[in-house]
């Protein structure tokens, strides 16, 4: 799986209960799914993610309860603490702006690649794209003044850069 095929759902915060349940800290509380989650991919290295079959999954705000098949004790669940949890991007509803994670961002002026959307920040009054660039993060407000084109087919966003829109 490549970064474009994955959506970072969150990470394992801790084990829950005695039967191997995991408490996940989610990347967003506004995730909408198009498909039932049958498999998640665990790991910190995108080139070496491991598939795990899901027994059940339940969202509770910014958290979720995840029960993996073959993880049946607190000790087994504790072993997964801190690990990232991914799902295929096609499971995320395209009605949700979170499907933009993994899109490449390019400048309108010269067509150069700026970076890749790492996260969509919906916690403020104005939604922002958090773009991972070669030299750091760039915050781009998700408004018409900056975002010219969102091409879902090519998974690319073309933005108008202005002075003051620098990396942080």
Question: Cα(92)–Cα(11) distance, rounded to whole angstroms?
Answer: 17
CA 17 to chain centre: 26
Q: Do 7 and 84 fall within a single domain?
A: yes
Chain segment 107-130, per-residue pLDDT in tens: 988 889 999 988 887 766 778 888
Yes or no: say if 156 and 106 are a contact pair by the CB < 8 Å rule.
yes
Average pLDDT over residues 28-52: 77
> pTM, whole model, 2 decimals?
0.58
pLDDT at 168 (0 to 100):
47
Last residue of a domain, one of 40, 63, 93: 93
Q: Total domain count for the chain?
A: 2
The pLDDT > 90 percentage for the chain reads 36
pLDDT at 7 (0 to 100):
76
Write the CA distances from 144 to 3, 141, 148, 157, 158, integer angstroms.
26, 9, 6, 12, 11
pLDDT at 69 (0 to 100):
95
Last residue of a domain, one of 93, 117, 135: 93
Question: Across-strand partners of 150?
Answer: 157
Q: Do 151 and 134 fall within a single domain?
A: yes
* Residue of 104 and 164 predicted with greater confidence: 104
Query: Quick check: is 166 in a domain?
Result: no
Last residue of a domain, one of 43, 67, 93: 93
Query: Quick check: is 122 in a domain?
Result: yes
Question: Across-strand partners of 159?
Answer: 107, 147
């Amino acid at each position: 799986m490549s970064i474009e095929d994955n959506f970072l759902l969150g990470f394992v915060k801790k084990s829950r209960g005695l039967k191997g349940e995991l408490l996940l800290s989610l990347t967003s509380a506004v995730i909408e799914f198009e498909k039932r989650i049958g498999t998640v991919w665990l790991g910190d290295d995108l080139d070496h993610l491991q598939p795990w079959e899901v027994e059940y999954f339940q969202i509770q705000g910014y958290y979720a309860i995840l029960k993996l098949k073959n993880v049946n004790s607190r000790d087994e669940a504790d072993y997964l603490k801190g690990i990232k949890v991914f799902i295929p991007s096609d499971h995320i509803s395209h009605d949700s702006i979170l499907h933009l994670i993994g899109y490449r961002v390019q400048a309108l002026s010269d067509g150069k690649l700026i970076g890749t959307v790492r996260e969509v920040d919906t916690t403020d009054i104005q939604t922002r794209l958090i773009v991972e660039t070669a030299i750091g993060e760039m915050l781009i407000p998700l408004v018409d003044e900056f975002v010219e084109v969102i091409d879902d087919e090519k998974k690319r966003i073309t933005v108008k850069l202005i002075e003051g829109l620098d990396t942080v």
